[in-house]
Amino acid sequence: MSQQSDPQPLIAILQLAYSGELAAAYAYRGHWHSVNDADERTRIQEIENEEWHHRQLVGEMLSSLDSKPNAFRETRAAILGRILSVLCHLSGWLAPMYGAGKLESRNIREYETAARYARNCGRDDLVDCLLTMAEVEWEHEHYFRARVLGHRWAKRLPIWPQPPAKETIRKSFAHS
């Protein structure tokens, strides 16, 4: 593997992402079941499937680093995801859309950071997949932001900071 630096920061962030994907996937399952609009149901279900795919990819990365998921984070994520899933049915339309968008903007940065950590420890083979996942999270954020901005209360809501354009994910990685 690496003659370079310690893989521990990469392992730690991948464990975080792996469990985060579990919580997100459960939450989105509740979310798409809770909305009435057919297009929204379809798109959020697709997003749920993308989170399961991310989890599989991140799990394979952890194995390739001779590591495994963090048991405590896994339990906590499963509980949190199921609670959020139920809350989607109780909280109305806006709160889950808003919460999802804000969370997704964090996920973009998480995979960008993971890509840098991979490069730092000599695992360049993981970089493209991590940046692709950051780009998919960008699409998720973009979708939920658009949903929230279309709501009649949007003007009165403080919206989380808008991520830079999607192309900057790879550009900034190349220049960092």
Nearer to Fe ion, 76 or 152 (CB): 76
* Residue 155: CB minimum distance to Fe ion, A: 26
* Residue 58: CB minimum distance to Fe ion, A: 9
- What is the chain's length? 176
* Residue 140: CB minimum distance to Fe ion, A: 4
Nearest by Cα to 51 from 29, 24, 76: 24
Nearer to Fe ion, 28 or 117 (CB): 28
Nearer to Fe ion, 3 or 147 (CB): 147
Nearer to Fe ion, 1 or 109 (CB): 109
* Residue 153: CB minimum distance to Fe ion, A: 24
User: Do residues 118 and 13 make contact, with C-beta atoms less than 8 angstroms apart?
Assistant: no
Cα 85 to Cα 28: distance, rounded to the nearest angstrom: 7
What type of residue sits at position 126? Answer: L
Cα 107 to Cα 75: distance, rounded to the nearest angstrom: 20
Q: How many C-beta atoms surround the C-beta of residue 80 within 10 A?
A: 17
Residues found near Fe ion in the complex (CB under 5 A): 51, 54, 104, 137, 140
Nearest by Cα to 139 from 41, 50, 18: 50
